[in-house]
Amino acid sequence: MALRLGDVAPDFTQDSSEGKIQFYEWAGKNWVVLFSHPADFTPVCTTELGETARLKPEFEKRGAKVIALSVDTVENHKGWIPDINETQGTRVNFPILADHDHKVSLLYDLIHPNSLANATVRSVFIIDPEKKVRATITYPASTGRNFNEILRVIDSLQLTDNHKVATPVNWRDGDDVVIVPALKDEEEIKRRFPNGYKAVRPYLRLTPQPNKEAREVAHTR
């Protein structure tokens, strides 16, 4: 059965471009972005893996490690990486799992036979330090993902965990956020949001992003 939000991400041991990986040990106490791509030596995948390498410092800032996966072999990955480096002007700096026996693909439901019979689709799993699946995204093979969106989702999840806020439509870092509906206690609200909040409706309470420079809200309660 497909993994759902809140499920525990399964552990596994598998070969990779950086040697054998025991997933939980490799992940440690970090957030993890595990993403599958259809095949080595394909154009969209080449751009995606190059972009992931370029963004690695951004993942690190968020305490997140990245790991890619396809059903190709270690030898194929090792043959392809120099192409990614050369064509994308980067250095692949994260492991690519070689799921030749489909072990991980089966655990994470990465092969969708009505889409691609024998290759993984473009799925992303954002996994928290407790190994819980916190977000899943699946794209077709022909659509390259927006890795800035993946960073944005991690930011949103971490804001919710750390500050009890959710992020509204098209939210970007620094925009106002919304106080989670479950938070009702006025004392806690005052303590958490010293700059106040604007109640557009009782259930829609906007406040400046808590981990940014303090600034006043126009119509505070």
Q: Which residues are catalytic?
A: 45
Pick from 7, 10, 24, 42 the residue near ligand BEZ by CB under 6 A: 42
* Beta-sheet pairing, 64-70 with 96-98: parallel
8-state DSSP, 71: S
**Residue 157, interface with ligand BEZ (CB under 6 A)?**
no
**Residue 50, interface with ligand BEZ (CB under 6 A)?**
no
CB of 118 to ligand BEZ, least distance (A): 12
**Residue 111, interface with ligand BEZ (CB under 6 A)?**
no
Select the span of 11-19, 40-48, 75-83, 97-105 touching ligand BEZ (CB under 6 A): 40-48
**Residue 49, interface with ligand BEZ (CB under 6 A)?**
no
**Residue 138, interface with ligand BEZ (CB under 6 A)?**
no
Look at residue 202 and give its three-state secondary structure: coil
Assess contact for 68 and 37: CB atoms under 8 A: yes
**Residue 114, interface with ligand BEZ (CB under 6 A)?**
no
Report which residue type is found at 213: E
- Reference 22, options 33, 7, 32, 11; nearest CA is 11
List the 177-179 sheet strands across, edge first.
165-166, 177-179, 204-207, 198-201
Pick from 34, 127, 141, 206 the residue near ligand BEZ by CB under 6 A: 141
Assess contact for 88 and 47: CB atoms under 8 A: yes
**Residue 115, interface with ligand BEZ (CB under 6 A)?**
no
Q: Which two three-digit tokens encode residue 58?
A: 């951004």
**Residue 27, interface with ligand BEZ (CB under 6 A)?**
no
CB of 73 to ligand BEZ, least distance (A): 17
- The number of residues that bind ligand BEZ (CB under 6 A) is 8
Q: Which is nearer to ligand BEZ, 1 or 117 (CB)?
A: 117
Number of neighbours of residue 205 by Cβ within 10 angstroms: 23
Number of neighbours of residue 136 by Cβ within 10 angstroms: 17
- Element housing 32 (H / E): strand 31-36
Q: Which is nearer to ligand BEZ, 46 or 156 (CB)?
A: 46
Select the span of 35-43, 125-133, 157-165, 169-177 touching ligand BEZ (CB under 6 A): 35-43
